[in-house]
Amino acid sequence: MEISIKGVRKEFGSVAALRGVDLDIASGELVALLGPSGSGKTTLLRLIAGLEYPEGGQILFGGEDASLLPVKNRNVGFVFQHYALFRHMTVADNISFGLRVRSARRRPAREAIDARVRELLSLVQLPDIGERYPHQLSGGQRQRVALARAMAIDPAVLLLDEPFGALDAQVRKDLRRWLRELHAETRHTTVFVTHDQEEALELADRVVVMNHGVIEQSGRPEELYRHPSSAFVFGFLGSANIFPARVSAGAVHLEGMERPFAPAPAGQPDGRYRLFVRPHDLRPTDQPGLGFVGVVQEARFLEGIHRIAIAITGRRDPVELHLPAHETPPAAGSRIHLASERFGLFAA
């Protein structure tokens, strides 16, 4: 089911958690809400679920206004950060809960419920644990059971709050791939919240970056990474070297450097800026015209990449440069000349 969020606002006391959010989620899409803590991503998820009500704006489910529809009638599958599995119920009872609490008119027959539980358990690849209690499961198993429970009510949308936050690294990786496959198979409209950019970029069809209660940018992972539209997004996704810079006479100058860094992008007005450039977009160059010069401090090799720290006069932090494994890193102490055509310029 497609979901439309229009100008949604939410305050907690005097603190604005969401300050006018617009977002359209297509049916079957897998969307990540990414942002630092306090960015409003969890609040947005809870508003979609109906666990909170907006102070302004609308939330549409399939074109119908669902803004004030009580949570129990909203038919959303919510997976809580710590799963919130009912401790006194078996796994099977947890999964069937949403079906069993329906009014007699809408409640499936007992056999249908049992069949559905079996089906879901096999879907989450845990066919034999129906009679166990949550405390007898591992973290990853609990996560899957929570997902099965949420899917049991055949939700209009699946909402996951930091779905991998409580798991250790290896389980997290496995579950991520598994969730991706599961989504490809079931095509549930899915929204999940995360503060981990790697998780968002790896898993989602579309990533929505949030900060201070507004959406900074939304798009496909690659698009966001390559064309961040704000300083926040540039800095939040991946690493970046940040320089104070100025544009004048058709060229970009780093503060304190005599030669220009690069030609100014077409139509860029003169003025002061902050320049962002990714470590792997910097290239050593022999051409003396553009770029800057520094001294190699040290070079380390990690995960197939040379990571080189370069000291520059007048700058406290070293600049970071990444070179692919097959290239030979410059020796420590040597002078190096760097330039880049790919960078971001944002108002200072």
Partner 1 sequence: MIDTLAHASLPPPPKPHELATARAVTRAATGEAPAIRLLLIAAAILFLTLFLFAPLALVFTEALRQGVVKFIGALTQKEALAAIRLTLITAGISVPLNLAFGLAAAWAIARFRFPGKSLLLTLIDLPFSVSPVISGLVFVLIFGAQSLIGPWLSAHGIKIVFALPGIVLATIFVTLPFVARELIPLMQEQGADQEEAALSLGASGWQTFWHVTLPNVRWGVLYGVLLCNARAMGEFGAVSVISGHVRGLTNTIPLHVEVLYNEYAFSAAFAMASLLALLALVTLALKTFLEWRFAGELANGLRH
Partner 2 sequence: MTDTTFEAAQKRGRHRRPRNVLPGFGPALGFTTAYLSLIVLIPLAVLFGWSLSGGVAAFIELATRERTLAALRLSFGGAAIAAGINMVFGLLVAWVLSRYSFPGRKLIDAMVDLPFALPTAVAGISLATLYGPKGWIGGFLADYGIKVAFTPLGVIVALTFVGLPFVVRTVQPVLEDLDRQYEEAAATLGAGRLQTVRHVLLPALFPSLLTGFAMALARGIGEYGSVIFIAGNLPMRSEIAPLLIVIKLEEFDYRGATVVAATMLILSFLMLLAVNLLQAWTRRHSA
Question: Which residues are near partner 2 by CB under 8 A?
Answer: 49-51, 70-78, 80-82, 84-89, 97-98, 101-102, 133, 135, 149-150, 152-153
The partner in contact with residue 68, picked from partner 1, partner 2, none with C-beta cut-offs of 5 to 8 angstroms by kind, is partner 1
Q: How far apart are CA 346 and CA 47, in angstroms?
A: 32
The partner in contact with residue 77, picked from partner 1, partner 2, none with C-beta cut-offs of 5 to 8 angstroms by kind, is partner 2
**Residue 91 CB partners (closer than 8 Å, separation 6+):** 85, 121, 126, 129, 130, 131, 132, 133, 134, 137, 145
In the numeric block, which tokens belong to residue 221? 């992972």
Q: Give the residue among 174, 115, 178, 123 at the shortest CA–CA distance from 148.
A: 123
**Residue 155 vs 294, nearer CB to partner 1:** 155
Q: Is the dihedral of CA 184, 185, 191, 194 positive or negative?
A: negative
| Nearest approach, Cβ of residue 87 and partner 1 (Å) | 18
DSSP-assigned letter for residue 107:
P
121 and 130 in contact (C-beta within 8 Å)?
yes
Q: How far apart are CA 221 and CA 202, in angstroms?
A: 8
In the numeric block, which tokens belong to residue 310? 């370069």
**Residue 74 vs 206, nearer CB to partner 2:** 74
Residue type, 314: G
The partner in contact with residue 108, picked from partner 1, partner 2, none with C-beta cut-offs of 5 to 8 angstroms by kind, is partner 1
Tokens 């939330």 correspond to what residue? 59
Q: Which residues of the chain form contacts with partner 1 (CB under 8 A)?
A: 1, 50-53, 61-62, 64-71, 73, 75, 102, 106, 108, 112, 116, 119-120, 123, 151, 153-154, 156, 186-188
| Nearest approach, Cβ of residue 1 and partner 1 (Å) | 7
**Residue 87 vs 316, nearer CB to partner 2:** 87
The partner in contact with residue 135, picked from partner 1, partner 2, none with C-beta cut-offs of 5 to 8 angstroms by kind, is partner 2
| Nearest approach, Cβ of residue 161 and partner 2 (Å) | 9
**Nearest 5°: phi and psi at 72?**
-70, -20
Q: Is the dihedral of CA 165, 171, 176, 180 positive or negative?
A: negative
| Nearest approach, Cβ of residue 33 and partner 2 (Å) | 17
The partner in contact with residue 156, picked from partner 2, partner 1, none with C-beta cut-offs of 5 to 8 angstroms by kind, is partner 1
Q: Give the residue among 56, 45, 52, 128 at the shortest CA–CA distance from 80.
A: 45
Residue 88 CB-density burial (10 A; 0-12 exposed, 13-18 middle, 19+ buried): exposed
**Residue 73 vs 328, nearer CB to partner 1:** 73
**Residue 113 vs 254, nearer CB to partner 1:** 113
The partner in contact with residue 78, picked from partner 1, partner 2, none with C-beta cut-offs of 5 to 8 angstroms by kind, is partner 2
**Residue 52 vs 199, nearer CB to partner 1:** 52
The partner in contact with residue 150, picked from partner 1, partner 2, none with C-beta cut-offs of 5 to 8 angstroms by kind, is partner 2
**Residue 46 vs 315, nearer CB to partner 2:** 46
| Nearest approach, Cβ of residue 72 and partner 1 (Å) | 9
| Nearest approach, Cβ of residue 190 and partner 1 (Å) | 11
Q: Give the residue among 316, 313, 308 at the shortest CA–CA distance from 332.
A: 308
The partner in contact with residue 24, picked from partner 1, partner 2, none with C-beta cut-offs of 5 to 8 angstroms by kind, is none
**Residue 78 vs 236, nearer CB to partner 2:** 78
Q: Give the residue among 259, 302, 257, 258 at the shortest CA–CA distance from 279.
A: 302
